[in-house]
């Protein structure tokens, strides 16, 4: 989950690295550091956010044309100066940064301790670095050769960048399971966990594959596999603009990304959805339609917010396509020894396309003959490359740690898939199909209507900001929305929140209800509406505080609820794309009212690239 940056070329390295670390801070912000190579190797690191590192080096000599930088999400060892990256080898010649986990570090560390090595940190990274140094010294080999030997021994995930004070133009990098992008400039190269630190300088990038080592100099990029065989770099053009990773006048990235959604959903639909022609064009689906239509089972594999998108896809696909769907947490699916048959369709959902658990789950499923369909936001990501087919969400870069526009982008892709499969199968008729195409087409404009005036939601947030618990309830399509609303509140405000199917509250959660508990009902007009009204009455009878997401024009729910957030009328199939917006805003404004950093919630990171 950590963020890594490297630079070699004619520029001053430190400003490039510092700016890159700020753009990657969503990946971790427990500590940060830089290593610069000039006539000597200088390492600076500091607990806390990148701004604290920046302050700590004021007045110091930061001149260098080669360097590496790291912003950390702690795994081995608590956040501290001593555990911050980069780490320097025992002999002092090398520095390394690492994103990932070395699972067998303890046994390697013991071997090194037995040889007399002493460690300055609690990290697995320092163990790997000293292991590399030990191999180099004992085998009289190059640093590149020592790294290759070490990586054949280690177990786990890694993306490492190494610098050597005696080779001041070179960065050596390697990856397995953790992402690495190399930007190609004129007489310079940029390395990073994703493209956001690179896009300002070049649009030409190489996505490094698993088990590859990169030797990077200002005017040279060499890729090799672990067998020391040269690989041909595949250069791609970045489809990303610098403005997309800036705040654009908003106070926070999260708020900007909430307000991006009319455009990001439209971008997802553009070129695919054509209600006038009655068509949905999705090449990943079109080219494999038979596999999808004839699937005996579809399994959604995801984590966190993406899991909630998968749960909604289960409702859509089973309802519209009449294909059985299972929704699996990737972290459980990869270890559970699931039954996977040839011809099963595995749909992997991930914003980053680098989620570690999801990647391993896919590899296992693919080996057993499953057809893999990826739904990701990040072009060129590992899941995109592993999949047999897929669809990008085109949500654009999402910097806020709590996912907002990536979620609605995933929903837009998944509902289009469901509609296309259903129409091809004949499980929905022409009239319903055309109606739902029109409803989906209208979603971006309806989201814009919700965002025109959020003062009511701000007032509700201020009213309930001191609550210690929330309960979120919904039925049918609105149940996954309730789960997502609860997750957003937990992530952003640190308030305990639980999401349940509304009918399940009588099976336990209703015991929590008193006059201090806010209960959020996702209560838009649908076939469950009368049931949800009854559930609201049950909460009010026990003096609970009811906050409702209701359809504009509804007169019943507003007469019962303490507070209401309205959304435009929509077919129940598309309602989740609207009803989630007020819940995103509610969590945002409660976090702001509590004085919290909503872009960087404590203990969280954007891309979970380690177990």
Domain ranges within the chain, ordered by starting residue: 3-243, 247-441, 451-600
Write down the pLDDT at residue 606: 52
Write down the pLDDT at residue 609: 46
CATH superfamily of 3-243: Aminohydrolase, N-terminal nucleophile (Ntn) domain (3.60.20.10)
Write down the pLDDT at residue 331: 83
May I ask the CATH architecture of the domain 451-600? 3-Layer(aba) Sandwich (3.40)
Instruction: Extract the residue ranges of the chain whose pLDDT is less than 50.
Output: 609-611
Write down the pLDDT at residue 610: 47
Residue of 49, 176, 420, 606 marked catalytic: 606
> Quick check: do 3-243 and 247-441 share a fold?
no
Q: What b-and-e string marks burial along 276-286, b requiring 16 or more CB atoms within 10 Å of the CB?
A: eeeebebebbe
Write down the pLDDT at residue 243: 56
**For residue 116, what are the CA distances in angstroms to 110, 130, 151?**
10, 11, 22
Residue 312: name the closest of 300, 324, 297 by CA: 300
Any idea how long the chain is? 611
Q: Using CA of residue 207, residue 609, residue 350, residue 325, what is the dihedral sign?
A: positive
CB 558 within 8 A of CB 460: no
Give the chain's count of helices (H) and strands (E). Answer: 21, 27
pTM: 0.75
Which of helix, strand or coil describes residue 166? coil
Q: What is the DSSP letter of 317?
A: I
Residue 208: name the closest of 176, 169, 171 by CA: 176
The question of whether 141 is a catalytic residue gets the answer no
Looking at the domain covering 247-441, what would its CATH class be?
Answer: alpha beta
CB 191 within 8 A of CB 207: no
Residue of 2, 159, 268, 321 marked catalytic: 2
The question of whether 606 is a catalytic residue gets the answer yes
């Amino acid at each position: 989950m950590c963020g890594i940056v490297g630079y070699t070329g004619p520029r001053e390295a430190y400003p490039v690295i510092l700016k890159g670390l700020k753009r990657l801070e969503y990946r971790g912000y427990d500590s940060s550091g830089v290593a610069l190579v000039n006539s000597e190797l200088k390492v600076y690191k500091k607990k806390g956010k990148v701004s604290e590192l920046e302050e700590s080096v004021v007045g110091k000599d930061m001149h260098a044309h080669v360097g590496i930088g790291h912003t950390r999400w702690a795994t081995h060892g608590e956040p501290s100066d001593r555990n911050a990256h980069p780490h320097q080898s025992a002999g002092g010649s090398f520095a390394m940064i690492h994103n990932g986990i070395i699972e067998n570090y303890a046994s390697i560390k013991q071997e090194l301790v037995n040889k007399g090595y002493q460690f300055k940190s609690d990290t697995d990274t320092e163990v790997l670095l000293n292991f590399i140094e030990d191999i180099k010294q004992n085998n009289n080999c190059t640093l590149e050769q020592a790294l290759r030997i070490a990586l054949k021994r280690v177990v786990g995930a890694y993306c490492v960048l190494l610098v050597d004070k005696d080779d001041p133009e070179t960065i050596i990098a390697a990856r397995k399971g953790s992402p690495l992008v190399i930007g190609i400039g004129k007489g310079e190269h940029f390395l990073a966990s994703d493209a956001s630190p690179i896009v300002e300088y070049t649009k030409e990038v190489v996505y490094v594959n698993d088990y590859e080592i990169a030797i990077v100099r200002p005017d040279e990029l060499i890729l090799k596999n672990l067998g020391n065989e040269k690989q041909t770099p595949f250069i791609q053009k970045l489809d990303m603009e610098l403005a997309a990773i800036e705040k654009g006048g908003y106070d926070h990235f999260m708020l900007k990304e909430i307000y991006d959604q009319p455009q990001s959903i439209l971008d997802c639909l553009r070129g695919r959805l054509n209600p006038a022609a009655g068509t949905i064009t999705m090449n990943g689906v079109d080219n494999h339609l038979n596999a999808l239509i004839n699937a005996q089972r579809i399994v959604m594999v995801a984590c966190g917010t993406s899991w909630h998108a998968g749960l909604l896809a289960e409702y859509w696909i089973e309802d519209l396509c009449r294909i059985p769907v299972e929704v699996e947490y990737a972290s459980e699916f990869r270890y559970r020894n699931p039954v996977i048959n040839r011809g099963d369709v595995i749909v992997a959902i991930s914003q980053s396309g680098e989620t570690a658990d999801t990647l391993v789950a896919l590899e296992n499923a693919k080996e057993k003959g499953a057809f893999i369909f990826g739904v990701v936001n990040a072009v060129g990501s590992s899941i995109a490359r592993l999949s047999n087919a897929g669809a990008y969400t085109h949500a654009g870069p999402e910097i806020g740690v709590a996912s907002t526009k990536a979620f609605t982008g995933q929903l837009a892709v998944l509902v289009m898939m469901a509609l296309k499969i259903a129409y091809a199968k004949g499980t929905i008729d022409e009239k319903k199909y055309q109606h739902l195409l029109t409803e989906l087409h209208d979603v971006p404009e309806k989201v814009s209507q919700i965002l025109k005036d959020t003062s009511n939601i701000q007032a509700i947030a201020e009213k309930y900001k001191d609550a210690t618990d929330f309960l979120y309830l919904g039925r049918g399509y609105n149940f996954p929305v309730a789960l997502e609303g609860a997750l957003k509140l937990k992530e952003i405000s640190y308030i305990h929140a639980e999401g349940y199917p509304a009918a399940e509250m009588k099976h336990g959660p209703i015991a929590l209800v008193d006059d201090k508990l806010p209960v959020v009902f996702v209560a838009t007009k649908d076939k469950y509406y009368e049931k949800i009204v009854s559930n609201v009455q049950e909460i009010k009878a026990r003096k609970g505080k009811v906050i409702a997401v209701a359809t504009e024009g509804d007169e019943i729910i507003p007469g019962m609820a303490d507070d209401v957030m309205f959304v435009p009328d929509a077919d129940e199939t598309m309602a989740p794309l609207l009803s989630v917006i007020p819940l995103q805003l509610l969590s945002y404004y409660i976090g702001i009212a509590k004085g919290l950093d909503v872009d960087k919630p404590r203990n969280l990171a954007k891309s979970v690239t380690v177990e």
